[in-house]
Amino acid sequence: MAKKKIDKGNLPTVVETGNNPFAYKDEFETICGIISAHKKRAMYAVHNESLNMLWEVGAYVSDRLKKTAWGDGVVRMLADYIRTKSPKAKGWSYRTIYKMVQFYETYSSQGFNEIVHHYGMQHYLSTSNQRELLDEKKAIVPIELAQIGNDVIVPIELTQIPNVLFATGWSNHQLIMSRCKSDEQRLFYILYAGREQLEYKELQRALKTDAMSSILGSKDVQSEMMKREYPQSGVLFKDTVYLEMFGLPVKYKESKLRKEIIAHMKDFILEMGKDFLFIDDEHRIAVGGKTFKVDLLFYHRLLQCMVAIELKTDEFQPKDLGQLEFYLEALDQEERRSNENPSIGIILCKDADMEVVRYALNRSMSPTMVALYKEQLQVGGVIQRSLEEFCKFVSKGKK
């Protein structure tokens, strides 16, 4: 059979690029950006609708329990009815339905809404910039729950879900409701879980280690230069971190502590804060004819600066601060890039006399702070600051 001839004169000209994908990198990145943007919008929409559904179901059942003859038996029958009507649906036990009731009653209460308004968080996540805090990796609501339809018209007064609740997912909300004893605590951990994009186990640890006290505690452990250069530092850095996962012996040297941190770097960064990126340990700095070593060097994404951490396995001494300031000066002069901010220094020590810390920091001319590490969990700290500064920080939509 004769082959049909193709008139190549009518075909478009093709630029030969071989199999090199980098020739189309800009176009490919544009398409990937479109896909990512729409995925985020879709996840945000599912997240919102799912929490709205849980809120409305909780509101409706709560109303029936209070105003009609509904009781535990009826709620059990409701769970069975839902499973019969939608056999593939999971997560609709009577216990889960009661959690939805708790979700509605806890956050529709006058006390919680007064706290939300007091700290100006009633419009949180109401702008597109703030909505970007939601991440597609975040655990939202089990898909089985999200698939359940809701054809019942719920009275409008029962549907006003506070905007701030959209900051985190259903699993985290259940944990917060069960662990927190006050509305202030609930508001803090909702915002903290949203800002740090905490998964369930990470939020469990934050509650266990009393992250609220550590973050909102007294910031006398920061130098004035730290507060001036980085006004957000008060809500970004903890004054106490817990290292119980290391299993440290009774006696150990700084080198042992450093090696344990390196071996458990993921846990250490989760404890310090997700904005930390590890750069190096025993980082060498050459000054004059001598070489000095910084115990741990990190980069902070939000503050866009290097963070030098010096480890001390004994009590803080004023001379420790002088050593740290020397390292910061060397880092800024020798390694800091033009687009980066002044380096921050943290002394992480086992113990400290806070009066000595205060005196030492009063004369510090660098962005420095002193933080304690604990080998065992010691919860139950006292909150010495209000939520106001933290709420102002997260309401800006920064991450």
Model confidence over 328-374: pLDDT tens digits? 999 999 999 999 999 999 999 999 998 999 999 998 999 999 999 99
Number of neighbouring beta carbons within 10 Å of residue 264:
16
Hey, which CATH number is domain 218-382, 3.40.50.2000, 2.60.40.10, 3.40.1350.10, 3.40.50.300? 3.40.1350.10
Q: Where are the domains of the chain?
A: 26-208, 218-382
> Could you give the CA distance from residue 28 to residue 20 in angstroms, rounded to a whole number?
12
Residue 16 confidence class, pLDDT cut points 50, 70, 90: low
Q: Which of 33-47, 92-106, 115-129, 385-399 is modeled with the greatest confidence?
A: 92-106
pTM of the model: 0.72
Structure token pair of residue 387: 């939520």
Q: How far is CA 256 from CA 158, 261, 317, in A?
A: 57, 9, 20
Q: What is Dmax (Cα atoms) for the chain? A: 98
Q: Kindly give the interhelix angle for 183-196 and 170-179, rounded to the nearest 10 degrees.
A: 150
**Region of residue 215 (left: phi > 0; alpha: psi -120 to 50; beta: else):** alpha
pLDDT of res. 141 = 45
Residue count (the chain): 399
> Could you give the CA distance from residue 264 to residue 243 in angstroms, rounded to a whole number?
10
Are 367 and 304 in contact by the 8 Å Cβ rule? The answer is: no
Q: Which residues contact 104 (CB under 8 A, 6 or more apart)?
A: 55, 58, 59, 62, 158
> Could you give the CA distance from residue 302 to residue 236 in angstroms, rounded to a whole number?
10
